[in-house]
Chain A
Amino acid sequence: MRGQPTNKRLEKHHIENLIGRIYMSFCVLLLIVIIVSMVYFVASKGVANFVSGEVKVSEFLFGTKWSPEADTPSYGAFPFISGSFLVTLLAALIASPLSICAALFMTEIVPGWGKKLLQPVIELLSGIPSVVYGFVGLSVIVPFLRDTLPGQGIGVAAGALVLSVMILPTITSVAADALASLPQNLKESSFALGATRWQTISRVILPTTFPAIMTGVVLGMARAFGEALAVQMVIGNAPFVPHSLFESASTLTSVITLGMGNTTMGSPQNNALWSMALVLMLMTFVFVLLVRMLERRNRI
């Protein structure tokens, strides 16, 4: 037989657990509601032009002419889509070798003071707000490019340079984590065979950690693809496909930033901007998918 006090304590115990569970379920449910409504709202606005027949999907994706205010408006977003991909790829190309070297420096070459030196540097770099990067790009990189290279300074090259500094910390920290978690005996056996440090790094360490390092690169690219203000400040925002790296161009984000406030809600032009937002969102899914695939490869 149970005594009264035990029963009471049991009850309290259950109520406590119940309250906790309700509270947590609410929080988790909220997360799911946010993401579902986000996808729903952006998608429903993004397909409005295609559903009403105002713009064809193929015209939007591959049309090179963006003139929404002309008598026969055309909504070709190809210059912006290609611009986004171009600056993202360039930024990844510049930042990846630098980041991988920094990670190797921290973990393989001078693990002691190298880590102490670079860790805070990486943390600080990732903490600097994107508008500050844009400001520095505008007041340092753009004049520098204008003075040394052809063109106006603003353009694809400036955008890619600013973005590459912004994604350095992302790639470096992921790569450094991957290198640090590599089993020690792999390295030791390579050294035991008489390999030099570079042979070990290039033939053993980098191939083994390749998927993990690529995860960092993809995460960095995802950040670069979605970055809006810093790019908008330095890229020049011309609605054409650029012919050289020193010409002005636009990205999806820069067009949305500039256009969203100046167009009326519900107009075809405004809806075309939402379609671009939808493209950005779909690209985010692609990046997340890529990261997941790479992580799965990494586990084996």
Chain B
Amino acid sequence: MKPRTADKVATAVIVTLALLIVAILVSLLGYILIRGMSHISWDFLTSAPQKIRAGGGVGPQLFNSLFLLVLTLIITVPLGLGAGIFMAEYARPGKLTNFIRLVVEVLSSFPSIIVGLFGLLLIVNTFNLGFSLISGALALTFFNLPLMVRITEQAFRTVPKQQKEAGFALGLSKWKIVTSVLLPVALPTIITGTILSAGRVFGEAAALMFTAGMSSPRLDFSNWNPLSPSSPLNPFRPAETLAVHIWKVNSEGLAPDALQIAAGASAVLVLTVLIFNLAARFFGRFIYRKLTASKRMS
């Protein structure tokens, strides 16, 4: 084949395959949303699921997912920030730093089912916390922590060096520079990354099956005492999340409308992740404008 013809053929193939990926996504999203949207209603979002009869909703599951997300972020954000700041600003090249980097890498590539099994062994059985929200949140911490460390480290690395030097020139302590000079500049990136990681946590199921459990007790949404067993806020109750519910309905659902429930719940899940994506972009830009002087410049 002449080089010119080969070039044209290759270009055509590459363009076709790239557009194929776009087509896959469009049809995937279209399928999930169109099939699911018809099943989403206020009743579906708030009512409890039915075991055998049709017409169950995903109310408790949706609440569990959101509550679990909040619990996880409360634990992982400060821890991830600390380790990430260390990696970006304090760690000197050497064996220890290499080792920590390896730890983060390995931890973030562990399959989520391994994280779930470890949670089952350590938190559920050894610490005797049982299948509970708090067990789930801790398992998700193992899952989310390496991600937070990376996000924080990358965010700090993008801060211009001059900012730090200016801080030193003013005679500030290193920790003061980190918290009052670098952190505000890095914050928009960190927040964007955190919201994106929240999307991942929201959709996670394998790590939660063995830690947060696969059932939800009857919840009394008028009872806000966090220590009562029927209260939605009690962190020591078992909690099935939306993603786990989708898996359960698909593999062992007995309700006659199991497929519709799975479709509706999938649509809710995907929509939430989409909202997280948009929120990440919006918040990142908003906070960047709030915290820096870029408002005046533009």
Contacts and interface: CB of A to CB of B under 8 A. Distances in A.
A284 B203 contact: no
A104 B7 contact: no
A257 interface: yes
Contacts of B52: none
Nearest to A45: B121
A195 B7 CA distance: 10
B141 to A, nearest CB: 8
Contact of B110 (A24, A136, A284): A284
A41 interface: yes
A77 B276 CA distance: 40
Interface string A246-281: 000000010011001100010000000010010011
Contact of B17 (A14, A102, A195, A233): A102
Nearest to B103: A35
A255 to B, nearest CB: 11
A118 interface: yes
B113 A257 contact: yes
A79 interface: no
Given A16-B173, A135-B266, A130 B205 contact: yes
A277 B107 contact: no
A228 B203 contact: no
Interface stretch (A60-68, A179-187, A219-227): A219-227
A17 B174 CA distance: 7
B11 interface: yes
Contact of B247 (A27, A34, A229): A229
B111 interface: yes
A1 interface: no
A130 B203 contact: yes
A24 B22 contact: no
A163 to B, nearest CB: 13
Interface string A206-245: 0000000000000100100111110011000000000000
Interface in B134-180: 142, 145-146, 149, 173-176, 178-179
Interface stretch (A50-58, A120-128, A144-152): A120-128
A26 to B, nearest CB: 7
Contacts of A257: 113, 206, 209
A31 B175 contact: no
Interface residues of A, number: 86
A109 B110 contact: no
**Which of B80, B111, B206 has the most CB atoms of chain A within a 10 A radius of its CB?**
B111
A288 interface: yes
B255 interface: no
Contacts of B250: 131, 134-135, 138, 233
B104 A31 contact: yes
Nearest to A44: B121
Given A121-B22, A196-B3, A104 B14 contact: yes
Given A24-B83, A232-B251, A256 B113 contact: yes
Contacts of B86: 24-25, 27-28
Interface in A90-140: 97-98, 101-102, 104-106, 109, 114, 117-118, 121-125, 127-132, 134-136, 138-140
Given A27-B83, A257-B113, A280-B113, A131 B15 contact: no
Q: Which interface residue of A19, A34, A199 has the most chain B CB atoms within 10 A?
A: A34
A284 B246 contact: no
Contacts of B113: 226, 228, 253, 256-257, 277, 280
A191 to B, nearest CB: 12
Contacts of A124: 25, 29, 274, 277
A31 B143 CA distance: 11
B187 interface: no
A281 B82 contact: no
B245 to A, nearest CB: 9
B246 A135 contact: yes
B275 to A, nearest CB: 11
B14 A105 contact: yes
A20 interface: yes
A7 interface: no
A226 B122 contact: no
A48 to B, nearest CB: 12
A135 B263 contact: yes
Contacts of B24: 125, 165, 168
B212 interface: no
Contacts of B214: 261
Contact of B206 (A13, A106, A228): A228
B67 interface: no
A284 B105 contact: no
A98 B21 contact: yes
16 contacts: A24-B90, A28-B83, A28-B86, A127-B274, A128-B203, A134-B247, A136-B31, A139-B259, A165-B28, A198-B9, A226-B113, A228-B111, A229-B247, A280-B113, A281-B114, A284-B109
Q: Which 6 A-B pairs have the closest CB atoms?
A: A226-B111, A129-B203, A27-B82, A20-B175, A105-B18, A101-B17
Given A42-B117, A139-B259, 14 more contacts: A16-B173, A21-B175, A24-B90, A27-B78, A41-B122, A127-B277, A129-B273, A132-B203, A199-B3, A226-B114, A256-B117, A274-B117, A280-B114, A284-B106
